[in-house]
Amino acid sequence: MKITHVDEAERYEPEPNWIRLSMCSEPAISIERFTKPAGHASPNHSHPNAQVLIVVEGTLSITTEADGTQVLDVGDTAFIPAGEDHVVTNPLGTPSVGIDIFVPGRSFDFWLTRGT
């Protein structure tokens, strides 16, 4: 068994106040906890990993070409297939928190190395 305590997790900020924590980083699966600041939207992107997003606090919306914008509240989940372009947005005036699960696991520095 491998335990990662949230206060000891590897951390970085791809953009100011957009905090990502590595909770599990294995070849088969990776899990990241993130705090998305008020009004923040990720760049439109895709990745070769399937993704499950779970809303822990606040509200997040996910926009894809196929499904438009879908709003998720606390406890809601979304499955994003590998390769699907998407944007994750916090529409609130306060931070929102989510969990991203990637299968297979992806490199934790995805946002730092994206496009290089």
Determine the pLDDT at residue 62: 98
What is the pTM for the complete model shown?
Answer: 0.94
Determine the pLDDT at residue 113: 87
Task: Give the whole-angstrom CA distance, residue 101 versus residue 96.
Answer: 17
Task: Give the whole-angstrom CA distance, residue 36 versus residue 42.
Answer: 9
Number of C-beta neighbours around residue 108 at 10 A:
21
For the 9-108 domain, the top CATH level (class) is mainly beta
Q: How long a stretch of residues is the chain?
A: 116
Low-confidence stretches of the chain (pLDDT < 50) are 116
Determine the pLDDT at residue 96: 98
Determine the pLDDT at residue 79: 98
Determine the pLDDT at residue 115: 61
Burial zone of 56 (CB within 10 Å; 0-12 exposed, 13-18 middle, 19+ buried): middle
Determine the pLDDT at residue 112: 87
Burial zone of 57 (CB within 10 Å; 0-12 exposed, 13-18 middle, 19+ buried): middle
